[in-house]
Amino acid sequence: MAKDVFALLHPALRKAIAALGYKTPTPIQAQAIAPILDGRDLMGCAQTGTGKTAAFCLPLLHRLAAAHATVRPGRPRVLILVPTRELAAQIGDNLAAYAKGLALPTAVIFGGVSANPQIEALRRGVAVLVATPGRLLDLTLQRHLSLDAVDAVVLDEADRMLDMGFLPDIRRILERLPAKRQSLFFSATLSPEVSALAKTFIRGKAVTVRVDPGEPTVERIRQRVLFVDKENKYALLKWVLDSPKCFRVIVFPRMKHGADRLAKQLTRDGFPAAALHSDKSQGARQRALEAFRSGKIQVLVATDIASRGIDVDDVTHVINYDLPDEPETYVHRIGRTARAGAEGEAISLVCAHDRQALRDIERLIAKPIPQQLDHPLHSERARTAMGADAVRPKRQPLPQRQAPRRPTRRR
pLDDT tens digit string along 152-196? Answer: 999 999 988 988 889 999 999 999 999 999 999 999 878 888 889
Helix (H, G, I), strand (E, B) or coil at 276: strand
User: What pLDDT does residue 1 have?
Assistant: 41
pLDDT attached to residue 65? 96
234 has a pLDDT exceeding 60: yes
The per-residue pLDDT for 128 is 97
Give the per-residue pLDDT at 395: 52
Question: Which structural domains are found in the chain, ordered by start?
Answer: 2-210 (3.40.50.300), 218-390 (3.40.50.300)
At residue 219 the predicted structure's pLDDT band, cuts being 50, 70 and 90, is low
CB 36 within 8 A of CB 186: no
pLDDT of residue 68: 92
| Predicted pLDDT at 340 | 58
Task: Pick the more confident residue, 402 or 118.
Answer: 118
Please, are residues 372 and 223 in contact by the beta-carbon 8 Å criterion? no
- Do the beta carbons of residue 204 and residue 173 sit within 8 Å? no
Burial of 354 (0-12, 13-18, 19+ CB in 10 A): buried
| pLDDT of 409 higher than 70 | no
* Cβ–Cβ under 8 Å, residues 345 and 221: yes
Alpha-carbon distances, residue 10 vs 3, 13, 32, 102, 184 (angstroms): 16, 5, 16, 9, 20
Question: Is 300:249 a contact under the CB 8 Å cutoff?
Answer: yes
pLDDT the model gives residue 262 = 96
Any idea which of 203-217, 266-280, 354-368 has the lowest mean pLDDT? 203-217
Label residue 283 by pLDDT band (50, 70, 90): confident
Please give the share of the chain, as a percent, with pLDDT higher than 70.
90
Dihedral over Cα of 331, 337, 342, 343: its sign: negative
pLDDT per residue over 37-55, tens digit each? 999 999 998 876 678 999 9
pLDDT of 403 reads 43
Condensed to tens digits (0 to 9), the pLDDT of residues 66-101 reads: 999 889 999 999 999 999 888 898 899 999 999 989
pLDDT of residue 306: 60
> Which pLDDT score is estimated for 398?
39
Q: What is the pLDDT of residues 382-405, one digit of tens each?
A: 999 988 878 876 554 434 444 444
**What angle in degrees, to the nearest 10, is found between the helix axes of 256-268 and 233-241?**
60
Question: How far apart are the C-alpha atoms of 401 and 411, rounded to whole Å?
Answer: 30
pLDDT band at 308 (very low <50, low <70, confident <90, very high): low
Which pLDDT score is estimated for 307?
Answer: 64
Query: Pick from 85, 154, 159, 58: which is nearest to 310 by CA?
Result: 85
193 or 213, greater pLDDT: 193
- Specify the higher pLDDT residue, 403 or 17: 17
pLDDT digits (tens, 9 = 90+) for 235-244: 999 999 999 8
**pLDDT of res. 244:** 87
Q: Write out pLDDT tens, residues 356-380.
A: 999 999 988 888 999 999 999 999 9
pTM: 0.67
Q: How many CA atoms lie within 13 A of 207 on its CB side?
A: 16
Residue 5 in this model has a pLDDT that exceeds 90: yes
Identify which has the larger pLDDT, 339 or 222.
222
Name the more confident of 221 and 411: 221
What is the pLDDT at residue 217? 52
pLDDT of residue 198: 92
Identify the weakest region by mean pLDDT among 210-219, 279-288, 305-314, 356-365. 210-219
C-alpha span between 373 and 377 (Å, rounded): 9
